[in-house]
A and B are shown apart, each in its own frame.
Chain A
Amino acid sequence: MSAFLLNRLFQSIVLLVIVSIIGFTVLNLMPGGPLAQFGLDPGMTQKDVERLAAQLGLNRPLWIQYLDWAWRLMQGDWGHSFRDGSSVLAVIGRHLLATLLLMGTSTALAIAAGTWIGIRGATHRYSLFDYCATVGAMVALSVPTFWFGLIGIYIFTLKLGWVPAGNMYTIGDGSVLDYLHHLILPSMVLSLVHVAIWSRYMRTATLDALSQDFVKTARAKGVRERRILLKHVIGNALLPMITLAGMQLPSILTGALVTETVFTWPGMGRLFLDSLGYSDYPVVMGLLIFSAILVVLGNLIADIVIATVDPRIRLA
């Protein structure tokens, strides 16, 4: 186990270095840069822009900028935002909870609904339910989320007036009920895609398990179908889902770009989009490293959990 972990740690560090180098390079290759927003400001002279570039250290060679950034990161200094001067960790901290709330809720919804739909689809294969679930999943996967979001706002807010048109809470209220009320529409919209993905995987995994020899044996023994399903099928079908859940972990914390924008949700996805728009390099790099660490962690946790629940797999 410890050899496995050491190996993993080494792999992860190599991965993080590669990710950060690619990220840093691509970011800096992007035309414009953080000072482009002042290009049409009549009062900012060329001199002002050059001065700001020097103050931000942008006039140094790229590799020096990278090494400087990486060296500071190793010492625990994630840098400061170009926009407002706050430390990157503080900026991330300000957006993390909002994302956790939205993504946590929608992922929980998606897993619950997806698992149920997937299993039912597999056990009632080619039934009307199965067809509907399949078509529904195709629609959910192919229609862009922002469209669902806007249609949702149009119907449930403007026409029916049931839920608010976005925002995390009413300014001046902010009670638990108020949060929940605001959470309904975005979490539903967001979970649509995940229900679709999850149910498709679950259906396949269940079908896979159903065709295994031990299921046939159980049936031959006369075990009741319900018991077979609960005891033999679902347990086995859930194994690949653990990996999927592990892959899901980063997105729970890094947020949803589009949904957060449509529903004016102050989460990490929107932070990323905004920081990219302003070429706020330190924050974008911080988010990149943060999500890379989460990907590594998510996979690691999934591996460990699988090894724990599935005796056939040994970590070496």
Chain B
Amino acid sequence: MTKGSATTSSYSRRDALRMMAIGGAAGLIAPNLLGKPAHARTPTKPTGRVIVGLGQEPTVFNPLMAHIEVDDGVHFSVFDALFRIDPQGVIQPNLAVEVPDQKNGGISEDGLKWRIRLRDDVRWHDGKPFSAEDVKFTLELITSPNFRSWRTAGHALVRDITVLSPTEISWRMEEAFAPYLSFLTETFIVPKHILEKEANPNNAAFNQAPVGTGAFKWGKRVAGDHLELVANTEYFGDGPHIERLVFKYIPDLTVLYTQFKSGDIDLVGQPYITPDHYVEAKTLPNRVVTLLPRTSFESFYLNLERPQFKELAVREALYAAIDKEAIIQGLYYGVPTPTETFMPRQSFFFNANLPLHQFDLNRAGKILDQAGWAKGADGIRAKNGVRLSFSNSTTSGDPLREQLQQFLQQTFAQLGVEMKISNLPAAVMWGEFWMQSQFDSVIVGSSYLIGADPDVTNRLHSRSIGAKGGRGSNNAQYANPEVDALLDKGARTFDPEARRAIYSRVQELVRRDLPFLPLYQSNSVEGLKKGINGFVPNGNTRTESWNALAWYWAS
């Protein structure tokens, strides 16, 4: 995303496309997107407009404030961060000229001292030059007590921020914390000269008309309907190639799809085309419909403190009794991809060598028999007075998940296992009931990663069990000292190859221990009009619009 030769790592859309192809994810994109040289026909000046349809309305335009996924598309377009993450999960420079590591001296050997060199050719949309002062201001605003900031993890460890020159900044970390680099790819830099004048940054006018350094400038917003960004022709990087980028809010998902069909929108953004329309969408003329890998991981999640689930044999047997293929093909229209791990397959840290699940009801029965779970008079297995009966909960009103539950209920019944369905509204489900491990088992889909960093301390460390006073969301109450040690080590290790070994081992252990039974990794059904070039999906970000600066219409 850099134009100048000043950078050590020049990163462009072309590189991204090439990496996509190397990375093996190319099959996910229609061949006609990759077939032509993407750089060949970009217009000389930004032309045309792309309308992205979204199922939720972006409303938070100060990228540092608490926000949700749909807001990300605006943030990635209007702002820049120090770094960006590419589709392969490799961190690339954005406002920085290089990614600091221990080899280039950007990060000290003990991981505590960070020094970042910045570009000198960046200007805010109002023409003022960007400098290290803006970075300092941004990092300080995030932890300022009255500011309603989004995530503070990592930022809270930063001390002694020093502006060494307009293009160089350094700070000290309270403890070595490797994931911070990845967090910085989602930390967009805001202008000091505008926000420092605000008495209350939470209600600042800036939040409704943001000024960034990004490839698109703020245009206008019609609340409840759409917002329009316009090309920043002074952008320091390659692009933008379209003149206007519009995010259109369409709350009803059927209507979202209908407007894609009718041509009112050019590209379907979150939450994408619903799986039940996938087959039909693929047949639409002049549309390209593909599956994008997401970071969200769906699992049959267990509460390991329940006596039914304490024994590994039970978890193994239940896993063997899940007919994943039938679920994915029969219920989910073939959209998701089966997986054995919480780590998304597009991640650099994905372990592809985990034992593969096999549906085998007989084997499941044998495992339980051998472990001493014998069927009682009521047909339900029991051992030492514990019946193999439990409840399963998920968000009520989700028809696909409810069908999945009924399907599993029937299979488990054949095995002599009783599963009762007890669903709750979303707000109740994911409140205390979830955070304080008040469930027996749950069907849940969520990302385990913050940014694209593999650190899953929050989800799997025994220190992170909310029900035991921990600060994280290890709600399965999983505790494995080896995993704990690996997670601690991983958070302090900066070398990506060394980290890959650590997190591969974590995935191995979690696959063996089965604190949750992996079902699938989510894919989104992305649809765009034929003629939009330069669209590259990036499962390491939360938005389809992470690189709108590279999009252009075929002339």
Contact = CB atoms under 8 A, between A and B. Distances in A.
- Are A and B physically bound partners? yes
Interface of A: 30-33, 36-48, 51-52, 55-56, 80-81, 83-87, 91, 94-95, 98, 150, 153, 157-158, 164-168, 171-172, 261-264, 266-267, 270-271, 273-274, 279
Given A33-B427, A165-B255, A42 B446 contact: yes
Given A31-B425, A32-B428, A270-B224, A84 B435 contact: no
Contacts of A95: 223-224
A38 B60 CA distance: 14
Contact of B228 (A52, A55, A83, A171): A171
A258 to B, nearest CB: 10
Nearest to A172: B49
A51 B61 contact: no
B522 to A, nearest CB: 13
Nearest to B224: A266
Contact of A47 (B66, B208, B225, B471): B471
A94 to B, nearest CB: 4
B152 A48 contact: yes
Contact of B258 (A47, A56, A153): A153
Contact of A164 (B202, B264, B430): B264
27 contacts: A32-B426, A36-B430, A37-B68, A40-B430, A40-B444, A41-B151, A43-B150, A43-B451, A45-B153, A45-B458, A45-B472, A47-B471, A55-B148, A56-B148, A80-B202, A80-B203, A85-B202, A85-B204, A157-B262, A158-B258, A167-B225, A171-B228, A261-B255, A264-B255, A266-B222, A267-B224, A270-B224
B304 interface: no
Given A47-B471, A153-B258, A264 B251 contact: yes
A46 B471 CA distance: 6
Contacts of B449: 42
B184 interface: no
- Residue among A42, A94, A261 with most chain B CB within 10 A: A42
B217 interface: no
B142 to A, nearest CB: 11
Contacts of A279: 427
A223 to B, nearest CB: 54
Contacts of A263: 255
Contact of A266 (B49, B225, B435): B225
B51 interface: yes
B431 A36 contact: yes
B262 A165 contact: yes
Contacts of A51: 152
A143 B459 CA distance: 47
Given A45-B153, A157-B262, A164-B264, A39 B228 contact: no
A264 B250 contact: yes
A203 B259 CA distance: 40
Contacts of A47: 152, 471
B177 interface: no
Contact of B254 (A150, A168, A171, A273): A150
A84 B146 CA distance: 16
B434 interface: yes
Contacts of A86: 203, 207-208
B533 interface: no
A171 B248 contact: yes
Interface string B108-136: 00000000000000000000000000000
Contacts of B152: 45, 47-48, 51
Contacts of B530: none
Given A41-B151, A45-B153, 18 more contacts: A32-B430, A39-B431, A83-B59, A84-B59, A84-B61, A84-B207, A85-B204, A86-B207, A98-B225, A157-B262, A165-B259, A167-B225, A171-B226, A262-B255, A264-B225, A264-B255, A273-B251, A274-B251
A165 B258 contact: yes
Given A150-B254, A165-B259, A264-B251, A271 B224 contact: yes
Given A31-B427, A33-B427, A36-B426, A55 B153 contact: no
Interface in B409-449: 425-428, 430-431, 434-435, 444, 446-449
